[in-house]
Chain A
């Protein structure tokens, strides 16, 4: 069963627009971790953020912000004033404390973001 759902396959915005990437997860664990990664055209996955299930505080890092809501099992990612360099595929991922896969991450299928000038 898919544990991480990123319903938006592709999003296209014009530079300087704000954009929110949705992520919904599914787990029975009370202890788990959520992640966001960026995959630019070069292909390498770049780690952006890690949140644990006990910390629902939203986080802001420059133009990036994350909204973690356990009540809706969501961990959404917002880019403010988007730039062309933000164009990439973004992945949301889940790791569960009860994992029997060496704490491997379960990834969503990704959202491809295109920011045009």
Chain B
């Protein structure tokens, strides 16, 4: 069966520090991968998606970046965090074949920038 894991689960970082959140999918090949952010009291905002290794598309201009060094690995990074980067970050995957399939989410990473 397919599983998705992301870490760390919780992170408290000072403004201006770097960030690295990692997501790994198991049990499937060539998935679409996504990073969403959920700010307090708000819905889910799509940040990045990837349809293949090295293929990253950004939906929202920001100081965050994403990379996909391996088929089932998706990394969210920042060189210098801002206060507004605080939120709950969710990684998700879906099967590419046929598209428009449901997304399966990881456990989430809660980031607090102080």
A residues whose Cβ falls under 8 Å from a Cβ of B = 31-33, 35, 37, 42-47, 50, 52, 91, 95-97, 99, 101-110
Contact present for A102 and B57 (CB under 8 Å): yes
Within B87-113, the residues touching A (CB, 8 Å) are 88, 90, 92, 94, 99-108, 110
Q: Report yes or no: B42 in contact with A109, Cβ–Cβ below 8 A.
A: yes
Q: Which residue of the partner chain, among B46, B49, B51, B88, contacts A43 with CB atoms under 8 Å?
A: B88
CB distance from B58 to the nearest CB of A (A): 10
Inter-subunit contact A101/B59 (CB<8 Å): yes
Report which B residues bind A (CB closer than 8 A): 32, 34, 36, 42-44, 46, 49-51, 57, 59, 88, 90, 92, 94, 99-108, 110
Can you list 6 A-B pairs with a CB-CB distance of less than 8 A?
A: A31-B100, A44-B106, A101-B59, A104-B34, A104-B46, A104-B59
* With A45-B90, A108-B43: A103-B32 Cβ-Cβ less than 8 Å: yes
CB distance from A37 to the nearest CB of B (A): 8
How long is the Cα–Cα vector from A91 to B59 in the complex, in angstroms? 20
